[in-house]
Structure 1
């Protein structure tokens, strides 16, 4: 699988037969001119995961692409397929399983919104959105949240240890002034069988 990290939560996954973009949000750049997408997946409605101003033109340039969104993002998008935990979709020859269901708690006074994680390709890649939900499937490559108002670094490390991917690709880093500090802790505390691999922004990388 080829992965491009466009910064923060946005990643492009390319297999032999499919191109799937996940969470094109306002903190991410470089995804705007993508072509030949088979699907765009949205984990939840927050702007750093869903850029409602750029999404329409992205979809217009990719009329064949499925738009799959969580329940909370449905009214912010046009003609989406709504994803609910337990759903399984086919994007070309690639399976996408929906897991989780709820955004992590930021504060008791802030309502919890829907959040769908996506397990792509029978565990080839897992994007949890804004949650630390551990799926039942074995995960080869994990999009590992690096920093967020709803998370401590120690919680991310415990999530990494619970999922035990072959490779952890740090994402959701734009809330931190120095994400490299978290990367060093991930490397220090990761499972022995896992590799932590920050990706060069905007570059296609085989993982």
Structure 2
């Protein structure tokens, strides 16, 4: 299985020629890929999903399924996109991908900002992506896609979260709100939390790793 990181939160997982797209949002280049069997949207915020991105993917891959929590289904209700609603504990199988879903709520941004649904995904029992949450899936995680920059994110909490998940490997995502210098600082703190028990792999947009 191979994962390619695009800008910010978007990632493309490939297994045996089939592709799974995670969180194709507005901070990401247009996602033009074929062979897509499913799209997972962790929550409704536009940096994680836009109707333009979804429509582009589904036009090129008309059989692809879309999975997301109830808030995503409501947000996309006017876009002619069917969402298979998932929440904590749900499981789906599509193509070569076994998907288990973990968590229910987005991290708090501020008391004035509504907390939306957020459900992370474990792909083939190996790669976990929590979306915008500190959800610990309660199972061993081989590879963690770890958020490193956000209005809801505090570096100390990020480090505690990574220590709690204790992945064998991790790579940073959700970085578009950071400057180049800020990203470097946050990645250094992520490395401190991951190593020496695990390995940190820094993927620039368009780079891939084998999971």
Give the TM-score taking structure 1 as reference length: 0.94
Any stretches of 5+ residues in structure 2 without a counterpart? Answer: none
Q: Which one of the candidate residues 85, 89, 94 is aligned to 1:86?
A: 89
**CA pair 30-201 structure 1, distance change in 2 beyond 3 A:** farther
Any stretches of 5+ residues in structure 1 without a counterpart? Answer: none
Do the aligned partners of 1:19 and 1:38 also contact (CA within 8 Å) in 2?
A: yes
Do the aligned partners of 2:15 and 2:96 also contact (CA within 8 Å) in 1?
A: no
CA RMSD of aligned residues (A): 1.4
Q: Residue 27 of structure 2: SS of its match in structure 1? A: coil
Q: Residue 156 of structure 1: SS of its match in structure 2? A: helix
Shift of 1:189: 3.3
**Match of 2:150?**
148
Shift of 1:17: 5.7
| Map 1:48-197 → 2, pairs under 5 A | 48-77=47-76, 78-122=81-125, 124-177=126-179, 178-197=182-201
Shift of 1:34: 0.6
Which has more helix, going by share of residues? 2
Shift of 1:18: 3.4
Shift of 1:111: 1.7
| Map 1:35-50 → 2, pairs under 5 A | 35-50=34-49
Give the TM-score taking structure 2 as reference length: 0.92
CA distance in 2, matches of 1:147, 1:125: 20
CA distance in 2, matches of 1:60, 1:169: 30
**CA pair 81-189 structure 1, distance change in 2 beyond 3 A:** closer
Tell me how many residue pairs correspond in the alignment. Answer: 205
